[in-house]
């Protein structure tokens, strides 16, 4: 069995609005092993994206904690959590989140430059070639198709070889054929990098390609299916 990479321990999230206190997440606990692929599924509004944001340390729980490699994220200040994200995490979003004033190459170089990697340009160029965009290095996001933008986002996420990749509905803005091609590429890159993948999706066919599925309903973890295994299953590639 591989090491435990992430421990989610009794996470609760509550917010207040004009009507009073609203519970978003209720006593969520699970763990993630290195190299594991896990899908978080559930209806819109069930708390999936909030849970993903807490896993990343981008949102804070009302109680409970998340430990990454044994480090409690919520005893760190925001600058320290940002440093952990820069060193350990990659992100892929439904809306791509590319910087419009940077070229494809510059978008992929950015996380490497932020950590002071002297090989940022060559590594970003290689990764864009890996996702089939060698001819688009100097193009800005506005002239790229949705599928091309998401491939740039994948290149940016994987170029640092993160320990943990968080993907929030990565095909939600794409047509079926383009989305299928993007997901195929994501699983290939994940296998090559040996990254732990957490994928939020409403698409059960995509979820079933992961080793395990966590079902969230009304903020509660109701079901875990699949094998909690150390190595990627054949279906996940």
Q: What is the mean pLDDT of each run of 10 residues along the chain (237 residues)?
A: 89 90 94 95 90 94 96 95 92 90 97 92 96 96 95 94 93 87 91 93 89 94 67 35
Q: Computed from CA positions of residues 227, 230, 234, 237, in that sequence, does the dihedral angle turn out positive or negative?
A: positive
Domain that holds residue 8: 4-225
Q: Domain tally for the chain?
A: 1
What gap in Å lies between CA 225 and CA 237, rounded to an integer? 18
pTM given for the model? 0.86
Give bridge partners of residue 164 from the DSSP assignment.
89, 196
Whether 232 is in a domain gets the answer no
pLDDT of amino acid 227: 58
pLDDT of amino acid 1: 56
Question: What's the number of CA atoms in the CB half-sphere (13 Å) around residue 191?
Answer: 15
Whether 37 is in a domain gets the answer yes
Tokens encoding 179: 């989305």
Whether 203 is in a domain gets the answer yes
CATH number of the domain residue 10 falls in = 3.40.50.300
Looking only at the bridges linking them, the beta strands covering 63-68 and 71-72 are: antiparallel
CB neighbours (10 Å) of residue 196?
Answer: 22
Whether 151 is in a domain gets the answer yes
pLDDT of amino acid 149: 95
Whether 231 is in a domain gets the answer no
Whether 111 is in a domain gets the answer yes
């Amino acid at each position: 069995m591989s090491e435990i990479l992430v421990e989610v321990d009794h996470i609760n999230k509550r917010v207040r609005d004009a009507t009073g206190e609203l519970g978003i997440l209720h006593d969520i606990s699970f763990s993630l092993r290195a190299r594991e692929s896990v899908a978080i599924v559930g209806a819109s509004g069930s708390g999936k994206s909030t849970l993903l944001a807490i896993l990343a340390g981008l949102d804070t729980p009302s109680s409970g904690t998340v430990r990454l490699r044994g480090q409690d994220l919520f005893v760190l200040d925001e600058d320290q959590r940002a440093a952990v994200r820069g060193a350990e995490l990659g992100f892929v979003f439904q809306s791509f989140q590319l910087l419009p004033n940077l070229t494809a190459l510059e978008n992929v170089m950015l996380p490497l430059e932020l950590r002071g990697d002297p090989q940022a340009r060559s590594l970003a160029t290689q990764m864009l070639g890996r996702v089939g965009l060698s001819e688009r290095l100097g193009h800005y996001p506005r002239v790229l198709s949705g599928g091309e933008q998401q491939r740039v986002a994948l290149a940016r996420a994987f170029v640092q070889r993160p320990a943990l990749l968080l993907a929030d509905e990565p095909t939600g803005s794409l047509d079926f054929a383009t989305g299928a091609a993007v997901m195929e590429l994501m699983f290939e890159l994940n296998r090559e990098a040996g990254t732990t993948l957490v994928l939020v999706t409403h698409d059960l066919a995509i979820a079933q390609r992961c080793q395990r599925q966590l079902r969230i309903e009304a903020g509660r973890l109701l079901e875990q299916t699949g094998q909690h295994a150390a190595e990627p299953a054949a279906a996940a590639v």
